[in-house]
Each structure stands twice: as C-alpha cells, then as structure tokens.
Chain A
C-alpha cells in the first residue's frame, strides 16, 4: 500500500550518523588532528583559506577535516562561518614590496636585484611517488640542516632589505602601464567594494573583479587562463614575478591616525606582463595581470593573473572574443560555492516540474504520432467544457 513518505527527519539524522562514521574511517587508525592537517596538508589549507576568504589556518584545517578532504565542501564550510563574522575594520593596502620573501622568481630577467629564490617548490621535482613516505617513521623527517639560502641565488640573501618588484623596474623605464590613480597610494586609501555585502553589477570595477577572482575556483580559473594561452583570447603573457612570503596587515583605527599592525599573513603574488600593441589613445607598452592568494597557491595566483588581464580587454580598447575575456561569463561562474550548490541542487526533488514535463511530452508525442490532433489541446482545462 502506498503511503505518503513520512519520516524524512529520521532519515536525515540517520544519514548524518552514517556520514560521521564514514568520515572517521577505520577506528584502528589514529584520528587525524587539525594541527597535522594545517602543518602537513598546508596547500589544501591554503586553498581553502583563499577561496573561503578567511585567513585562519586552524579553521581551514578543521573544515578540511570535517569535509573529509573535499576542498570545495571545506571552502563552503568556511564561507558560511565567514558570513557570521562582523567586519571590524578595513586594512591598509598590503605592501607586498615589503614582503619577507621565501620564494621569488621572475621569468623575464635572467638576473635582477634580489635574485631568483626558488624556495619551497614542486618545480623541478621529478614526479615519482616517494615510497619512503609510506613508512611513518621519524627517519623520514627532513634533517633540518638545509640552509634556506641555498635554495636560490646566494646574492639574494646578502641584501637584507626588501627585494624590489620586477614590474617596478620596468615601470621606471616607462615600458609598463603605471598603476591606476589612487591604487596602492600610501596616503589616500581608496574605498574598495565588497561583493559579499553588495551584489555584483556590471561593468565591475577592478577591485570587485580581483575579489571575485581571488575567491574563484582554482580549477575554473586555471582552465580559463589556459584557454587564453591556446588562442582563445590573444594573451601572450610572461611571468614577470611570482613571490611568496609574509606581509604585515595593518589597520588605522578611527581614533588614531597611525597604522597599527595586526600580524602577518602568508601570501602568493603573481604579476604577469602582457604585450600590448597600442591603440589610438595609448602607445604600445606592457600591460599587467594581477594575482594574489592566501598561503602558497601559486597555480591559483598565476591563473588569476591571466584571467585578470584577459578581462581588461575592453578597458584597453581590444575586442572581446573569447570566453576568458567575457566579464559576465567569468565573474558569474567562477564561484564554486555558488556553482556546486546549483549543480548539486539537481539532487533535490523535482517531481512537480517533471510531472508537468511528462504531461507535455506525452501530449507532444501523441500529436507527433497523430498529426491530426495537432492543435487540439485535449488535456487542457480551457477546452474541457466544450
């Protein structure tokens, strides 16, 4: 006997209990700690912080643990938490020129002030599974004897002061576009938009675009950036500079008129240089694409910089042709919390729409098989009385 399904609440509770068992896995194995995740799965934690828009390695690690390593789910957890946080202040613009650098490379100059610093990188590793890591032994611990200064150009460490940015060197020669007025200005901090408070409208300013891209899905931006390299959008980019390290976050409290440091955060910054042939208004020059991510997210920062440049097409008087140059297409579809929610909502019941479609398809089929009945909406109440 058919009975209308009841007990959804019990089913949901049971499902979540099973999920909890599934998450914990084999009880013979020790439970993974949040500290272990933030220390040993740092790249996962960095991605969750970047796309989750919260710089908090501990909470991001908790989200990774709770989501069983499903990073998009972890990002969602962190975002939902973020939405409940008050905004106490807006920080001053980060000064990445003052970064305490751990890694810094430029693909545009063989040598340059500050030198090339490889730092912690998978570049030039041979991608061979390291079976040594299978054994959980103290013997596998790094010796700790590596001198960080060996991982790069010796000269770099000689210079104690801040390492100049590659694009600033080009700037001096007037070969690259200068910053837009006000941006990064020490004195007058411009007010920046926040798309988590006000909905995005078009055309979006560069502040909102960069915020959107910084929160955007790494895979989506990677594919779009890649597409510009393959001819969908005429970008010929050079990695002007990629730098990783720690920068200070400062605020200027209302009652004080000097900046107060809040602490430091780790960021990855990428500045791409793209050739620009010039237009009627502007002489030929190099143009910029900018990427910034929390923690060590180099792939993300690079992809972001490519897409940022691609989205400047209209501003530079070029004709947008490719998906990556289409502001509305990119910015409306970059967010994986939005996109995964909507794709996965297809799991929700759609009985009612589907019933409407069933009725319609049956009617269309009937008319298809029997063309004579074509214009008689037999199943429609409007004619029922006739």
Chain B
C-alpha cells in the first residue's frame, strides 16, 4: 500500500544507513549465537519505548524497498499500535503492507505467532519488553549475564518445580521460558505458551528486538526451541472448550470477548488474518451468543467458560 507519499527529510525506513548497518551487524551476531542477548546502541525512535521500538529498529534495518510488511499486535492487524507501526513504515519507507500472513516477507509482531505456518522467505520480528528470562528471579543485569555465561539455569528449574509443588502444574501462562539450541534460555517475548511449539524448528528466521533494554536476540531457521519442563511434567498448552464463534476453528488461540452487561462471553480467533481466511474458505462458527447460529459445529458454545 505504498502510496508514494514518503515523509520528506528522513532516510528510507527512518534510521540513517550507518545505524541500520550497525544493527544488522548485531543481528548477524545474534543469529550466530542463537538465544544470546546482544547489546546494541538502541536509538530514540519517534514512538515511545515500550511500544515496539526494538522491533521497529530491527524491521527498519532489514527492510528493503521490495519487502511486504505485515504488523500484528495480539495477533490482530487492526489493533491501534499495529496500525500505527504499519503506517510509520508505509510513510517512512513507502513499502507495501499486507494483512495476509502468506503474502508478507517481514512480519512484525507483539505477543503472538501467526497461526499460519511461516516459510523460509519470511522473517518474524518480535517486539520485546523484557528480554531477560531470568529478570523476575534476579533483577540485576550484571548477575543475569553471568548466569547465562555459566549456563546457570538452576534457579529457573527451581521456580518451575515450586509451581508444581504448590499447584500440581507449572503456573506460567505466557512468556514461558524456552531453551534455544540447547544453550541459552530465552524469554519468549512474551507470547502465550500456546505459541511456544510454533517457534520450534520453523523455516523462518525469528529476530527479537528490545529497544528500551537495548538487546537483540534471534532464532535461526530450523533451530530447536525447547520449552522447559520435567520428564514427569511435560510441557503442555492451553485449550478451549469452545471454538471460534466466527470461523469455528478449534485449534487456534482464542480471545474472550464480553458481549453484554450480563457478562456473556464469546470466543474469537486472536489471529484475525487466520480467522478471515477460514471464513473466506466457507468455515463458520456458532456466531454471537443468543443469535441463530449459522455454525456447522459446536452450536451454543461460548456460553461456558474454559474448563
């Protein structure tokens, strides 16, 4: 959707070429040491820290004029910050953007991995608030860097074990820690643990940018990303009793939507492109609670809560 109206006075994709080159060098190092957080000279972007500046700097550095960019936040292309970032790049780089996962060459995301499997010619760029998986266990960067260097991850296993001792299972729902390439424990950006299997050994390159914390890390294509667990308590993901009210999918990550003052809920796909594609293909869900369901399966779902 490049409309020929690139903002004047700024370089292609906003950052100057020297800065972009320095970030690309950092990215190469990050790819060479999968899961290792490489410090970089993060710049002050015209968008606030904490709002995707890390992802934006990575995207700006790797973006070329022929790239097709997709930006999602919470899985959706139309959330306000995704709209804002997509517009930033169509203005400063005058590139094409898309909402279709399959058409994109670069996908910048916050908190989700698209449901549609990615391929080798795609790069997934994550916006990361806190890149350090050990941060909640040890607030000091000087300490956590040492822990990574010494591969000292016992404290993380103890935390997971304590969850099991307290609750009978691991009580981490998102930002579930994973071991990359059997060496570095990484923060998953945070995506829900539902998405963890989707970042393991995938054909696409994954780059994680944390602007405020000034770190970049990466998962090269086909790299093993193993969610931490125990033999007798294997990693597992959440499921819903419901399907998507709009497309009827039972396999995708669902958002809960409250539809009236009585607290009636319905569940819809978090990945808006996935949901639209399924509906285009003729799938339908049960619709909004209380409506005549056009759905093909799971009629009446959405009234209950996930068990």
Contacts and interface: CB of A to CB of B under 8 A. Distances in A.
B174 A199 contact: no
A272 B238 CA distance: 58
A340 B51 CA distance: 11
B64 interface: no
A28 to B, nearest CB: 33
A100 B245 CA distance: 73
B288 A379 contact: no
Contacts of A1: 287-288, 291
A179 interface: no
Contacts of A348: 51, 73, 80-81, 110
Contacts of B288: 1-2
Interface stretch (A112-120, A128-136, A359-367): A359-367
Nearest to B172: A360
B238 A379 contact: yes
Given A2-B245, A340-B48, A380-B237, A352 B174 contact: yes
B194 interface: yes
A376 B307 CA distance: 11
Interface in A340-363: 340-345, 348-353, 355-360, 362
Interface string A309-340: 00000000000000000001000100001101
B112 A352 contact: yes
B265 to A, nearest CB: 10
A4 B272 contact: yes
Contacts of B53: 341
A382 interface: yes
B218 interface: no
A375 interface: yes
B111 A352 contact: yes
B50 interface: yes
B192 A338 contact: no
Nearest to B81: A348
Given A2-B266, A338-B212, A374 B44 contact: no
A286 interface: no
Interface in A282-325: none
B102 interface: no
Given A353-B192, A356-B238, A381-B236, A83 B44 contact: yes
B39 interface: yes
A379 B94 CA distance: 45
B193 A197 contact: no
Contacts of A341: 48-51, 53, 212
Contacts, number: 175
A76 B47 CA distance: 9
Interface in B108-146: 110-112, 129, 140-142
Interface string B38-49: 011111111011
A12 B91 CA distance: 15
A5 B78 contact: yes
B173 A352 contact: no
A9 B90 CA distance: 13
B73 to A, nearest CB: 6
A181 interface: no
A358 B256 contact: yes
A184 interface: no
A5 B272 CA distance: 10
A344 B121 CA distance: 35
A6 interface: yes
Contacts of B84: 12
B237 A381 contact: yes
Contacts of A159: none
Nearest to A377: B169
Interface string B200-244: 000000000000101100000000000000000011111100000
A364 B167 contact: yes
Contacts of B44: 76, 79-80, 82-83, 196, 337
Given A199-B41, A345-B129, A381-B239, A351 B74 contact: yes
B171 A360 contact: yes
B49 A197 contact: no
B16 interface: yes
B217 to A, nearest CB: 14
Contacts of A382: 234-237
A139 to B, nearest CB: 44
B83 A12 contact: yes
A160 B79 CA distance: 64
Interface string A1-15: 110111111011000
Given A84-B16, A349-B73, A342 B111 contact: no
A90 interface: no
Given A350-B111, A380-B236, A202 B141 contact: yes
Nearest to B270: A352
Contacts of B194: 356
B270 A338 contact: no
B253 interface: yes
A198 B19 CA distance: 11
Give the most central of A344, A353, A357: most B CB within 10 Å. A353
A175 interface: no
Contacts of A12: 80, 83-84
B257 interface: yes
Contacts of A367: 167-168
B85 to A, nearest CB: 11
Nearest to B75: A352
A336 to B, nearest CB: 10
Contact of A351 (B193, B235, B246, B270): B270
B303 to A, nearest CB: 14
A9 B238 CA distance: 33
Contacts of A364: 167, 171
A5 B53 CA distance: 24
Interface string B174-211: 11000000000000001111100000000000000000
11 contacts: A2-B288, A4-B268, A83-B45, A198-B41, A338-B212, A348-B110, A356-B174, A356-B194, A367-B167, A381-B236, A382-B236
6 cross-chain pairs, A with B, having the tightest CB-CB distances, nearest first: A341-B49, A345-B50, A382-B236, A375-B168, A356-B173, A341-B48
Given A1-B291, A352-B174, 7 more contacts: A4-B76, A12-B83, A332-B141, A345-B50, A353-B111, A353-B174, A380-B238
